[in-house]
Amino acid sequence: PDRLAERWAGLFDAVLVDAPCSGEGTFARDPHAVRGWSVDAVQTYAHHQLVILEQTAPLVRLGGRLLYGTCTFAPEENEGVIAAFLEMRDDFELMDLPQVPGLHPGHPEWLGLPAHLRRAGRFWPHKGPGHGHFYALLRRKGDPADPLPERWRGSDVPGRVLALYRQRVGEALVGAPPESGLLLDKEDALYIAPLAPELWRGLRVLRPGWWVATRRHNKVTPNHALAMALRPAQAREVLDLRPDDPHLSMYLQGSSWPDTGTTEFVLITVDGFPLGWARRTGGRMRSHYPIHLRR
């Protein structure tokens, strides 16, 4: 986070810290987490978490929010870390969390901490969703001093690739594919990026924007992330499946079935909600559901 803060200080209205932790909330399903637990480990994690929050704080714009989360029960890693952070950073304040089902107040009394830390929240595995989680919502005091950078609307794509993108992705959509902010990265992925490349180049950025397509062997293929952001009316052809349709199970398994249509890329939906692309080729409808999501 300190490398990010050097480049992106005050750039974000909202930051999520999914902190590394002792993982007590995963004990029921992960024997390795149980064997790796110790009192010393809890203290070590608490130290790392506080350092991460310290390094992350400069990223948050005045008036912005910082959400801290763990999947552990240890108060030293939860209420204790937040209390220590607030002592160090008087420009942050603890806010109330949205009152969602299953959320319970924090427990500052376990460490003899101030009662206002009850504004933090816990999900208990026997009372709500998940295996056990802690969240604290922090706000940086004040009002924004400077406007955020304008959304980048340039383009950084070679002309031949752009022509392929317009043709191939355009065949899957109604109307022209998005181009404002389009760039091609070193892995041949095409993104719609909200920030100018000079703001993030040199940093390890997992996704610089909305992944809309991929170039492979002089072909461009629409990406799963593009499908997931579409409304059915935006796709040239939609196959809407019922939840009990056997084709749905085949699609989620990465399989195929006979089909004689003409449109190559078809948006698969269930009750109108997008699941991803299928590709019609060789008289069959072939699932393009990502391999890592398949059943």
Q: Give pLDDT tens digits for 244-279.
A: 999 999 999 999 999 989 999 999 999 999 999 999
Neighbours of 36 (CB within 10 A): 11
pLDDT digits (tens, 9 = 90+) for 118-140: 999 999 999 877 889 999 999 99
CB 59, CB 65: distance < 8 Å: no
Q: Catalytic site residue 71? A: yes
* Span 165-189, pLDDT tens digits: 999 999 999 999 999 999 999 899 9
> What pLDDT, on the 0 to 100 scale, is given for residue 202?
84
| Cα–Cα dist 155/163, whole Å | 13
Average pLDDT over residues 9-31: 93
* Residue in 21, 59, 71, 190 annotated catalytic: 71
Give tens-digit pLDDT for 192-242.
999 888 888 888 888 999 999 999 988 999 999 999 999 999 999 999 999
Tracing tokens 């989680």 back to the chain, one arrives at 133
